[in-house]
Amino acid sequence: MKRILVSGGAGFLGSHLCEQLVEEGNEVICLDNFFSGSEQNISHLLPSSNFKLLVQDVSIPLSLEVDEIYNFACPASPLLYQRFPIETFKSSVLGSLNLLELAKSTGAKIFQASTSEVYGDPLLHPQPESYFGNVNPIGPRACYDEGKRSAETLFFDFYRQYQVDIKVMRIFNTYGPRMSATDGRVVSNLILQSLQRQNLTIFGDGSQTRSFCFVEDTIRAIRLMMASPKEITGPINVGNPTECTILELASLILKLTGSSSQLYFLPQRTDDPIQRQPSVELAKTELSWQPTYQLKEGLLKTIAYFESFLKKDVC
């Protein structure tokens, strides 16, 4: 049994990981200040003797004995991080620094949930890990993009200077149950609007692309990377390389929900990437990983979750 700290453990990805780690018999400490996470995501774990909740901001140093650390602590919602840019940047930079200091002092292995946003609005397509990106450092999304880029810098500096055992993964557009209903991300937005027979909001003309990866595939990749040999540090891209336009996504969601909602077009958001598609060759060769869920299959599970969410909300 391992003692594992999951920072941001009450969030979308963190809660799925906590659940799996507890089921495997590990002692899990969930660190979260509920800035973007939800106690509802982990309420089913609270009765377990192997699960502990530590309510604290990751930007505050902490001291405890752990074997492994997973860092998910940072708002991923564009609406939230653009509303609170300084808090977002601090969670990425100060949070990473504090967790790396903890890993250094305890000898723990540490995982960083980085993001496809480090590539910005890419000029290279698809995006390999060797690509340095095209990020606007002073734009409204920079608090998240540059925060995650700075976190990666810290991870590799701790690896080089202190030989900390690091794992850095760049995650592309994960979706699935437990996504926040209010975080403004495209999958949750379109599903909720469709289920509630509202207009489906499309920013720009809908030709921009994303590569959507179901949460179970992403969690499997995270576990494989954490179990990989020490020399595999990353960064490694994880996502579904099947590219999809926002219009195609909206059309599929309308079909799967049987909704009669109409499309409603708004101006393109500032610095919103036009194309997003990962190269996952490194994940295939170093982790023996590739996604298994088709978009339709994952969307059906996500739609079922939001249908249940809306029924509870009504009650």
Mean pLDDT of the 184-193 span? 94
Q: What is the distance between the alpha carbons of residues 264 and 252, in angstroms, rounded to a whole number? A: 16
Residue 108 structure tokens: 């723990």
Q: Is 226 helix (H, G, I), strand (E, B) or coil?
A: helix
Average pLDDT over residues 131-160: 96
- How far, in Å, CA of 76 to CA of 178, rounded? 13
Half-sphere CA count of 43, side-chain side, radius 13 A? 5
pTM of the shown model: 0.95
User: What is the reported pLDDT for 54?
Assistant: 97
Please provide the size of the chain in residues. Answer: 315
pLDDT tens digits, residue range 149-183? 999 999 999 999 999 999 999 999 999 999 999 88
CA-CA-CA-CA dihedral for 129, 37, 246, 124, to nearest 10:
-10
Q: Are 183 and 76 in contact (CB under 8 A)?
A: yes
Residue 184 has pLDDT above 90, yes or no: no
Distance CA 45, CA 124 (A): 42
Q: Is 144 a catalytic residue?
A: yes
Average of per-residue pLDDT values in the chain: 95
pLDDT for 117 equals 94
Q: What is the mean pLDDT of residues 43-64?
A: 96
* Domain assignments of the chain as residue spans, ordered by start: 3-172+213-240+279-292
114, two tokens: 């980085």
Query: Residue 287 to residues 220, 238, 290, 311: CA-CA distances in angstroms?
Result: 10, 10, 9, 40
Q: Which of 70, 81, 144, 293 is catalytic?
A: 144
94-103, 236-245, 267-276: the lowest-pLDDT one? 267-276
First to last CA, the chain: 40
Using alpha carbons, list the distances in angstroms from residue 83 to 7, 76, 78, 79: 22, 12, 8, 6
**Structure tokens that stand for 174 in this block:** 């994960």
Q: How confident is the model at residue 33 (pLDDT cuts 50, 70, 90)?
A: very high
Phi, psi of 11 (to 5 degrees): -85, -175
The mean-pLDDT minimum among 14-18, 78-82, 255-259 falls in 78-82
At residue 315, the pLDDT reads: 43
Asked if 29 and 54 touch (Cβ cutoff 8 Å), the reply is yes
The first and second tokens of residue 230, run together, are 């020490």
Structure tokens belonging to residue 306: 């939001």
Confidence bin at 274 (pLDDT 50/70/90): confident
In the CATH hierarchy, which top-level class contains the domain 3-172+213-240+279-292?
alpha beta
Q: What is the mean pLDDT of residues 272-295?
A: 95
Question: Which of 176-180, 215-219, 272-276, 298-302 is the least confident region?
Answer: 272-276
- Nearest-angstrom CA–CA distance, 231 and 229: 6
DSSP string, 262-285: -EEEEPPPTT--S---B--HHHHH
